[in-house]
Amino acid sequence: MPSQAAASVGEIAAHPVPDRHGRSLFDHDTELHRLLALYLPPDLLAHMRPHFERLGALAGGRLDELAHTADRNPPTLTLRTRTGIDDPQVHKHPAYVEMERLALSEFGLAAMSHRDETLGWRGRMPPLVKYVLTYLFVQAEFGLCCPVSMTDSLARTLKKFGSPELVERFMPRFQSLDFDTLAQGAMFMTEQAAGSDIAATETRAHQDGEGQWRLTGDKWFCSNPDADFAMVLARVDGGAPGLKGVSLFLLPRRLDDGSANRYRILRLKDKLGTRSMASGEIRLEGALAYLVGEQGRGFVQMADMVNNSRLSNGVRAAGLMRRAVAEAEYVAHERRAFGQRLEDMPLMQRQLEKLRLPAEQARSMVFQTAQALARSDGGDTGAYPLLRILTPLIKFRACRDARKVTGDAMEVRGGCGYIEEWSDPRLLRDAHLGSIWEGTSNIVALDVIRAVKREGSLPVLQAHFAGLVDDAPLAPAFAAALRDALERAGRLTLIAAEDGGDRLARQAASALYHVVSAIAMAWEGARGGSAQRVAWAQSVLLHRLLPRDPLVASAVPADWNPVHTAETIAA
């Protein structure tokens, strides 16, 4: 007779309510394995594989449990001590603190790009490794990935624009992996009257009698408000009006003597999502701060930090979609109804494919953008215009797609998907933030056009992705269709750039995203031996770019001659 334990496992496997908890989010992701083999050097991939495996197992088990607990137990704020001393303190649940330790200390997600050794690898880790780890981590926990991203971005901006003295003084804490000494970062930018309109910033900066900068004013939406340091935008007294009068400052939470700096957390926000992580309102009351870079260049310098965070937003959106799709696939495979598996039903097959497509587009865009970032940071001047346009593209489209994918994936689980005991509600709530943080969809679509106008990014983008088509052994008809779509999307973008009303910015941004993601997937599939990725590229072309008659029964245009997947990969 089988043992009790064996019987229990059998009962769980046969249970009519499938539960994927405990399955590795890395081991079962075969498409991720193929992409890693294509994009990472073999020695680095071999070194990182055990770390990917460990984080994938954590994300599917213990980390997922911590995230659920932290989501149900959000941070709280006390304003005064019991003796009546003003001392605002954010109190985090132990589950959130344990996740902080995993992300910041064990895996070094915030410090990785600023160290010469991480996870046993000598030398700077390429951005792609950081983003793959983030991609796995965010499938369990989204909220903490905001402080991780802001800490990483703050350190990057400090190194790029801060004085040598400022960098030498504070960078070691951003490079540290010691949980008790490492620093977390934040950005205090948003004001009630100045959201995306930085020129409307009202927070003031003045120099005191000792020549130290002091900040006064209110910041309306500050995530990670008790961070050790924050980048803050403020208007220098007597400076120029508009954007030219806004400067960037580094704000410490504690002064050199250990006392609190002169600003207060007024309250915490009661948010729809990212409940595990604190967001609050800040009142600056003559707080000591350090000028970063040139006076009056605050917008340009903060834009560098925001752009880095925008890329992280795209990575997180891709991760949320991957988790949602994987949950839906698991349920459809394990759940039986009307005498058959859900995944064998034609409508379910169609629904799952509609979920997979935007998730895989976003994943390819993560790899392509991370690769452009590595080239740009490595001194390749031609890579910066490419990075400059890919970043708002992935932020614009992937974050919007994540809202729909997480919602539609919830439906596959049925009534259980609407219950807070499962991951689906948390994924859905968190996904909606991606289209707001670091610029709403309209703002980011306009930034795509700005990259075309100011950085000359469009011809660089077209050349890069045309090169991928040339490098991929695709069927001639399919390759020609991709080239044509790339050229037409470019023409639309130029028209949008010439339109003073910016009416076509969103349409152009979506067109570019769909074209370049299709080309990336076609190249990945042809070079990496994945017929499935080539088929997804074809689907993007068919369903996102080519004209269709909505009253025709077939989902495929009547005049389209399909290029079969088997013909798109060289023998």
pLDDT digits (tens, 9 = 90+) for 32-43: 999 999 999 999
Average pLDDT (315-337) is 96
Count CB atoms within 10 A of the CB of residue 76: 12
Q: What is the architecture, at CATH level 2, of domain 185-300?
A: Beta Barrel (2.40)
Backbone angles phi and psi of 89, in degrees to 5: -130, 130
Residue 23 in 3-state DSSP? coil
Looking at the predicted structure, is the pLDDT value of residue 559 above 60?
no
Average pLDDT (369-380) is 95
> Which is nearest to 544 in space by CA: 497, 482, 493, 496?
482
Query: What's the pLDDT at 491?
Result: 96
Looking at the predicted structure, is the pLDDT value of residue 563 above 70?
no
- Compute CA 119 distance to the chain's CA centroid, rounded to the nearest angstrom: 22
Query: What's the pLDDT at 13?
Result: 53
Query: What's the pLDDT at 182?
Result: 98
Query: What's the pLDDT at 565?
Result: 41
Question: What sign has the CA pseudo-torsion 216, 91, 431, 391?
Answer: positive
User: Any idea which of 99-108, 151-160, 553-562 has the lowest mean pLDDT?
Assistant: 553-562
The reported pTM is 0.93
Q: For residue 341, what are the contacts with CB-CB under 8 A and spacing of at least 6?
A: 332, 333, 334, 335
Instruction: Decide which of 85 and 470 is more confident.
Output: 470
Distance in angstroms (rounded) separating the CA atoms of residues 315 and 331: 25
| CB contact at 8 A, 80 and 106 | no
| CB contact at 8 A, 514 and 361 | yes
Please give the full DSSP string across 412-479, using - where no structure is assigned.
HHGGGGGSTTSHHHHHHHHHTTTTTTTS-HHHHHHHHHHHHHHH-HHHHHHHHHHHHHHHS---HHHH
Tell me the chain's radius of gyration from C-alpha atoms: 24
Instruction: Decide which of 552 and 319 is more confident.
Output: 319
Distance in angstroms (rounded) separating the CA atoms of residues 509 and 496: 9
Average pLDDT (79-100) is 94
Backbone angles phi and psi of 501, in degrees to 5: -90, -5
Task: Give the residue carrying structure tokens 């349920």.
Answer: 331
Give whole-number Cα distances, 521 to 200, 358, 537, in Å: 42, 11, 5
Distance in angstroms (rounded) separating the CA atoms of residues 374 and 311: 13
Cα angle 401, 407, 413; round to 5: 135
Count CB atoms within 10 A of the CB of residue 518: 27
User: Are β-strands 229-236 and 185-188 bridged in parallel, bridged antiparallel, or unpaired?
Assistant: parallel
* 548 pLDDT tier (thresholds 50, 70, 90): confident
Query: What's the pLDDT at 421?
Result: 95
* 561 pLDDT tier (thresholds 50, 70, 90): very low
Q: What is the architecture, at CATH level 2, of domain 310-568?
A: Up-down Bundle (1.20)
Residue 272 is given by DSSP the state: S
Looking at the predicted structure, is the pLDDT value of residue 567 above 50?
no
* 7 pLDDT tier (thresholds 50, 70, 90): very low
| CB contact at 8 A, 309 and 438 | yes
Structure tokens at 398: 């992937």
Percentage above 90 pLDDT, the chain: 84
| CB contact at 8 A, 496 and 504 | yes
Average pLDDT (172-200) is 92
| CB contact at 8 A, 318 and 170 | no
pLDDT digits (tens, 9 = 90+) for 214-235: 999 999 999 999 999 999 999 9
Distance in angstroms (rounded) separating the CA atoms of residues 110 and 177: 9
pLDDT digits (tens, 9 = 90+) for 417-476: 999 999 999 999 999 999 888 889 999 999 999 999 999 999 999 999 999 999 999 999
Give whole-number Cα distances, 385 to 144, 450, 464, in Å: 30, 11, 11
Average pLDDT (327-348) is 94
* 554 pLDDT tier (thresholds 50, 70, 90): low
User: Are β-strands 229-236 and 204-207 bridged in parallel, bridged antiparallel, or unpaired?
Assistant: parallel
Residue ranges of domains in the chain: 30-160, 185-300, 310-568
| CB contact at 8 A, 217 and 188 | no
| CB contact at 8 A, 344 and 16 | no
Average pLDDT (494-510) is 91
Distance in angstroms (rounded) separating the CA atoms of residues 469 and 472: 5
Residue 234 in 3-state DSSP? strand
Structure tokens at 195: 């959201």
Distance in angstroms (rounded) separating the CA atoms of residues 453 and 314: 23
pLDDT digits (tens, 9 = 90+) for 133-165: 999 999 999 999 999 999 999 999 999 999 999
Average pLDDT (508-537) is 97
> Which is nearest to 175 in space by CA: 192, 191, 194, 158?
158
pLDDT digits (tens, 9 = 90+) for 230-269: 999 999 998 888 888 999 999 999 999 999 999 999 999 9
Query: What's the pLDDT at 248?
Result: 96
Count CB atoms within 10 A of the CB of residue 98: 16
Query: What's the pLDDT at 571?
Result: 29
Question: To the nearest whole number, what is the mean pLDDT of the chain?
Answer: 92
Residue 217 in 3-state DSSP? strand
Query: What's the pLDDT at 4?
Result: 47
| CB contact at 8 A, 516 and 465 | yes
